[in-house]
Chains A and B, each alone.
Chain A
Amino acid sequence: MVLAILGAVVLAAVANGAAVDRTALAKKQAALATEYGLAKESSFYFVLDVLGRKLELRVRGMVLRSWPLQAMRFWGSPGFAGTVELVRKTTLKAPERIVIKPGDTAEAQPAPAPAPAKPAAKSAPAPAAPAEFDLEALELKDMPKRFTLDFDNGLHVTIKAEDAASRGLAGSLSDGLRWYIGLPLRNLFGSREGKRISELELTFEQGQDAQAIYWHFFDGIKGIIL
C-alpha cells in the first residue's frame, strides 16, 4: 500500500517534470526554427532575450555584440511570434552626416562637431593623440543615448541608458506622464478597437551601449524576441 502511494507520487512528479520540459522544448524549438530562418541569410539580425536580460547582434548564429539590460518594462501584449523588422529609428536629434563641397566658399555643413572645415583623412601630418583631435566624422560619440525603434508589427522599443537617463524634472515628469497615463489610456482605447499595443522600454547601464545599438541597428534589420 505504502509502495503504491510512493509509486503514484513518483509518477506524478515525473509527469509534472515532463510537462515543464515539454513547454521548454516547445519554446526551444520555436526559437531555434525562427533563428535558423534568419541565420541562413548573410544579413545581421538581433535577438532580444528578455528573460536572459540581453540584446544581441548576431550573424550566422554567432554573437557579434551582446548588451546586457539594466532594466526593462513593458506595456501591452508581449506575445511575439516569428521575426520583427525594424522600420525606423526615432530620436530627438538624429546625428547628421557632414557634407563637404570642395571649392564652396561656405564652411562644410551641417557639422555637429565644432572643428574647422577640413575633409576627414587628409594627407597632412596627424596632430596630437586621437583623443584630443576633434574630427569631422560620424563617430560613436555622436550617436544618441535615447531613441525609439519602431518595428513592422507595431512594436515600439525605447532604448535609453542609465547614465544618461536623467533629463531633469521636466524629463522625469514627461516620462512619468507618458508611462503611467499616456500608455494606459492608449492601452484602454486600443484594446477596445482590437489593436495590440506593445511598448518595451530597455535601459542599459552605459550610454555607449545605447549609442552602439543606434549605430549597429540599421533600417530593415530583422530580429526575434524571446
Chain B
Amino acid sequence: MIKRLLIAAAALAWLGLLAVVGAAYFIGFKQAAAWPPEESVQPVAEKDVPKTERSVQQLEKRMTGLLPRGLYIVIDTAANRLYLKEGAKIVREAVVSCGSGVVLEEPGGKKRSWVFDTPRGEFTVKSKITNPYWVKPDWAFIEEGEEIPKGMEDRIESGTLGDYALGFGQGYFIHGTLYTRLLGRNVTHGCVRVGDEDLKAVFKAVPVGAKIYIY
C-alpha cells in the first residue's frame, strides 16, 4: 500500500515538474522567438524621415572625424603583433614581444611591487630616439638580486634597446631587442620589443604625435 502511494506521489511529482518546465520553456521560447523583438524597434514617423536621415549623415561624419589621420600603430598584446596602418590599410605587420604579466615583489625593504604589463589604450608617439640607452629602474636590479646603485651612471646600459626607440609615455617604449628568438612571446617588462628591420621601418615612417592603439 505504502509502496503504491510512494509510486503515485513520485509520478505526480514528475508530472508536476514536467508541467512547470514545459510552461517555463513555452514562456521563454515565446520571448526568444525573434531577435530583436519587432515591437522594441519603432519605425521613424514618416514626417521625421528627412530629419532622421540628416541626423544619420551627421553621425557618420562625426564618426569619420574620430579616425586617426595619417599613419598610426596598432599593437595586439595577445597575438604579439604590431600593425603600421593608414586608414584601414595595413602598411606593415611585425612580430613583437609584449609584457609578460609577471608580478615582481621586492623582498624586505619598501615591499614595492611591479606588474609587467604592456599598458593598453590610446597613446601618442611622444619621442623618437636613435641609439637609445637604457636607464635601468630599481626593478631591474631587484629582479637580478643586485643592489640598487646610488649613482645614475651605474644604471646606464647601452646596446640592449636596439637602434631606435619610440616613447609613448609613462616610461614605456617601442624599441629593439637582442632576443629576436623570443619575438612573438610575452616576455617583456612592459615595453614593446620589435625586430631590427621592422623597427627601422616603423621609426622612419611614424612622426611624433602619431597615434598608438594597444589592446
Residues of A that sit less than 8 Å from B by CB: 18-19, 22-23, 25-30, 32-33, 35-36, 39-40, 42-44, 50-51, 57, 59-62, 64-65, 74-79, 81, 97-104, 119-121, 123, 126-130, 133, 135-140, 143, 180-181, 183-185, 187-188, 191, 211-212, 215-216, 218
Contacts and interface: CB of A to CB of B under 8 A. Distances in A.
B53 A25 contact: yes
Interface residues of B, number: 69
B102 interface: yes
A51 B41 contact: no
Interface in B31-70: 31-32, 35-37, 40-46, 49, 52-53, 55-56, 59-60, 62-64, 66-68
B46 A119 contact: no
A137 B215 contact: no
A44 B77 CA distance: 14
Contacts of B101: 97-98, 137-138
Contact of B41 (A23, A74, A121): A23
Contacts of A25: 43-44, 49, 52-53, 56
30 contacts: A18-B46, A25-B49, A26-B52, A27-B41, A32-B60, A35-B63, A36-B62, A39-B66, A50-B36, A59-B215, A61-B63, A61-B66, A62-B67, A62-B213, A78-B37, A98-B101, A98-B102, A100-B105, A103-B107, A120-B116, A128-B181, A130-B183, A133-B185, A135-B186, A137-B102, A180-B21, A187-B27, A187-B28, A188-B23, A215-B78
Given A97-B115, A103-B107, A191-B27, A121 B188 contact: yes
B36 A78 contact: yes
B189 interface: yes
A74 B59 CA distance: 31
A221 B143 CA distance: 33
Nearest to A123: B160
Given A136-B100, A188-B27, A215-B78, 5 more contacts: A26-B44, A30-B41, A50-B35, A100-B102, A188-B23
A180 B45 CA distance: 41
Contacts, number: 207
B187 A102 contact: no
B24 interface: yes
A133 B184 CA distance: 12
B129 interface: no
Contacts of A81: 40
A35 B60 CA distance: 10
A187 B28 CA distance: 6
A130 B181 contact: yes
B63 A36 contact: yes
A151 B92 CA distance: 36
Contact of A119 (B56, B108, B143, B184): B143
A140 B79 contact: yes
B51 to A, nearest CB: 10
Given A102-B142, A119-B143, A140-B79, A180 B68 contact: no
B27 A185 contact: no
A51 B100 CA distance: 37
Contacts of B213: 59, 62, 64
B120 interface: yes
